[in-house]
């Protein structure tokens, strides 16, 4: 078991190193290293999951890491059902994205570098999940951020991509600063960072201290999982290759915050207030991002804001104490969001790089597999009955209602309506109606190769079957919740079957209403393409510009900091620092000027100096 655990990150790390060191030799064959590495990691994750199927926890220790005074920590893992589920999602979805990338990135000059970064990203995420203490978690928390910077800015010769990579890195540093403070406070309060010891001693913390630590940790989660107010980096991350967007949004980075809060649930429960903050931030983010997604015209930005919104649902669930429901939505979301991003990549690939929904349409007859699988993904995201998103989102809404959080429930239900609308708006604009692209582009539209469509089919199958396999409710809870019972206690049924049925039907009606409205606006009586997304009414301009949050940050933070930096550079750097350096140089030159006069170039002067020196030395010796 211990060997299988460490093989999970070892395979992608080996793949990353081989492609980094031998990329110039391997070049277009890099996928023969990277893809099998992920396959091996996935198989190792399956073996580990089988080993802990009965609910046991294993904690293999690799080696002692830091021993300094009273502080001691090791590179150790903690593998329980929660970690097992996460590892399966990261490696399984990651493998499909690697396979898809073979076709999508074919012919790119940075092919080997791309797969090296992709392997490194998966390695960092698997180590984050495996970490058995908060210090190791923090190290790979930062490593995931570094990998996102490398992949978002992969096409660094494009100014927009380079800027997006820097933005993601800097915004995440804000959240990570709080996360680091929370880890340090946790050490000073409990004297340990090992999960087992921290959660065993959590009752030693006062509620106020637990609240402070939990909120600082949650600050890191807001940055990593793009929650308000640290969400602004994620839409710009679309400048990276589309498979990177799928990996970040579905299987790796953005899920890290949800995983961390769920993993630390004992600490958050000790606070109480922190859980309420998590829930309300999640609900606010879910509605904020859903409204912005309604009017976006870039196919990837629609999906980006959709990811932010769905992450809000996950945080709302864990904030309400419905941990299993939140993690289940994380799993199902990984399936249908990876499917949607990869489907969008297939569309962009077919259209020669075009991402504007206003320049698409009529693609379904020429891209049958992509259209069908994306329809399944959109239906899963919208929460239509029978699909994975229906089961997981219903669990969250039912938990909110059962817990007496009626306002939160109503707001999440409104978000479900908006989700259904923008999901099918994207589908209708991209695949149906008349073609709105230039005639020569429409003539060359074709289905993507099998290496790209097979991952779409697998993810579509998972979107169809995952809910039935894991999410069917019963008196003992869902099968997924029962599997996670060793980590999270099973929730008690709070309502009768009739109330549950009514809530279920209400969810279906709301989702159907959103789809019908999208059909009416974009299929039955379609808006003219040139008007789609145009900021004519003020509310549309507000949404299209994401409530001007980026502009607000630019004026309130970026420009003042730039002005201060310019002033400091001119006054402090040039005036003070350079002035002191130049003063030292001038002093040396002034002193050297006197000595330079002794170097006359006349031999008689040197002979006279030698004579004077010899006489002085003789006089000194005679007077001793």
8-state DSSP, 527: P
In angstroms, the CA 500 to CA 12 distance is 44
Q: Is residue 379 pLDDT above 80, yes or no?
A: yes
Query: Quick one: CA torsion of 552, 555, 557, 562, rounded to 10 degrees?
Result: 150
pTM of the model: 0.91
Query: What's the maximum distance between 2 C-alpha atoms anywhere in the chain?
Result: 121
Cα 567 to its chain centre, rounded Å, is: 35
pLDDT band of residue 206 (cuts 50, 70, 90) is very high
CA 514-516-520 angle, to 5 degrees, is 120
Question: 326-349, pLDDT tens digit by residue?
Answer: 999 999 999 999 999 999 999 999
pLDDT band of residue 536 (cuts 50, 70, 90) is low
Q: What is the mean pLDDT of the chain?
A: 92
Q: Is 223 helix (H, G, I), strand (E, B) or coil?
A: helix
Q: Tokens 């999602």 correspond to what residue?
A: 89
User: What pLDDT is stored for residue 492 in this prediction?
Assistant: 62
In angstroms, the CA 321 to CA 402 distance is 11
Q: Is 601 helix (H, G, I), strand (E, B) or coil?
A: coil
Question: 1-34, pLDDT tens digit by residue?
Answer: 789 999 999 999 999 999 999 988 998 999 999 9
Q: How buried is residue 65: exposed, middle or buried, by Cβ count under 10 Å (0-12/13-18/19+)?
A: middle
Q: Tokens 């209708």 correspond to what residue?
A: 428
User: What pLDDT is stored for residue 622 in this prediction?
Assistant: 81
In angstroms, the CA 28 to CA 25 distance is 9
Report residue 67: phi and psi, to 5°: -130, 110
User: What pLDDT is stored for residue 375 in this prediction?
Assistant: 97
Do the Cβ atoms of 191 and 70 come closer than 8 Å?
yes
Report the pLDDT averaged over residues 147-175. 94
8-state DSSP, 528: P
User: What pLDDT is stored for residue 251 in this prediction?
Assistant: 74
Do the Cβ atoms of 227 and 258 come closer than 8 Å?
no
Q: Is 71 helix (H, G, I), strand (E, B) or coil?
A: strand
Number of separate helices (H) and strands (E) present in the chain: 27, 2
pLDDT band of residue 200 (cuts 50, 70, 90) is very high
């Amino acid at each position: 078991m211990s060997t299988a655990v460490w093989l999970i990150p070892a395979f992608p790390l080996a793949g990353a190193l081989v492609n980094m060191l031998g990329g110039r030799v391997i070049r277009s064959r890099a996928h023969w290293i990277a893809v099998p590495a992920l396959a091996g990691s996935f198989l190792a994750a399956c073996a580990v999951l089988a080993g802990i199927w009965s609910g046991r926890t294993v904690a293999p220790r690799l080696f002692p890491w830091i021993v300094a005074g009273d502080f001691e920590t090791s590179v150790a893992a903690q593998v329980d059902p929660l970690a097992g589920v996460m590892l399966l999602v990261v490696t399984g979805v990651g493998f499909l994205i690697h396979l898809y990338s073979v076709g999508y990135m074919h012919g790119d000059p940075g092919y080997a570098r791309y797969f090296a970064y992709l392997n490194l990203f998966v390695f960092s995420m698997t180590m984050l999940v495996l970490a058995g203490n908060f210090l190791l978690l923090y190290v790979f928390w930062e490593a995931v951020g570094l990998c996102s910077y490398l992949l978002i800015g992969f096409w660094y010769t494009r100014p927009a991509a380079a800027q997006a990579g820097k933005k993601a890195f800097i915004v995440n540093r804000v959240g990570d600063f709080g996360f680091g403070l929370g880890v340090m406070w946790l050490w000073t309060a409990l004297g340990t960072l090992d999960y087992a010891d921290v959660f065993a001693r959590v009752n030693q913390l006062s509620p106020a201290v637990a609240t402070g630590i939990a909120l600082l940790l949650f600050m890191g989660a807001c940055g990593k999982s793009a929650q308000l107010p640290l969400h602004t980096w994620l839409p710009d991350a679309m400048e990276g290759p589309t498979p990177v967007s799928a990996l970040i949004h579905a299987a790796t980075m953005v899920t890290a915050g949800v995983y961390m809060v769920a993993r630390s649930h004992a600490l958050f429960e000790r606070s109480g207030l922190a859980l309420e903050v998590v829930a309300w931030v999640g609900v606010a983010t879910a509605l904020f991002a859903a409204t912005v997604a309604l009017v976006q015209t870039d196919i990837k930005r629609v999906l980006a804001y959709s990811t932010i919104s769905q992450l809000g649902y996950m945080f709302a669930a864990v904030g309400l104490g419905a941990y299993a429901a939140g993690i289940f939505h994380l799993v199902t979301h990984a399936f249908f969001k990876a499917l949607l991003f990869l489907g969008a990549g297939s569309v962009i690939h077919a259209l020669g790089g075009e991402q504007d929904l206003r320049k698409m349409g009529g693609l379904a007859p020429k891209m049958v597999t992509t259209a069908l699988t994306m329809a399944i993904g959109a239906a899963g995201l919208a929460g239509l009955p029978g699909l994975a998103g229906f089961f997981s989102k219903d669990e969250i809404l039912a938990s909110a209602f059962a817990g007496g959080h009626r306002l939160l429930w109503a707001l999440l239900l409104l978000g479900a309506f908006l989700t259904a609308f923008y999901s099918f708006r994207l589908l209708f604009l991209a695949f149906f109606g008349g073609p709105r692209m230039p005639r020569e582009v429409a003539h060359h539209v074709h289905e993507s190769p099998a290496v790209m469509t097979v991952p779409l089919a697998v993810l579509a199958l998972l979107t169809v079957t995952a809910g039935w396999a894991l999410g069917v409710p019963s008196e003992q809870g869902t099968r997924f919740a029962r599997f996670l019972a060793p980590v999270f206690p099973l929730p008690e049924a709070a309502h009768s079957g009739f109330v549950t049925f009514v809530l279920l039907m209400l969810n279906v009606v709301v989702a159907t209403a959103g789809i019908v409205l999208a059909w009416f606006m974009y299929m039955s009586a379609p808006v003219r393409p040139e008007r789609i997304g145009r900021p004519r009414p003020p509310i549309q301009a507000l949404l299209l510009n994401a409530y001007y949050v980026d502009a607000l940050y630019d004026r309130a933070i970026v420009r003042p900091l730039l002005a201060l930096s310019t002033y400091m550079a001119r006054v402090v750097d040039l005036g003070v620092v350079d002035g002191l350096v130049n003063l030292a140089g001038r002093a040396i030159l002034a002193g050297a000027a006197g000595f330079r006069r002794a170097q006359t170039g006349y031999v008689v002067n040197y002979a006279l100096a030698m004579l004077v020196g010899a006489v002085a030395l003789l006089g000194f010796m005679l007077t001793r």
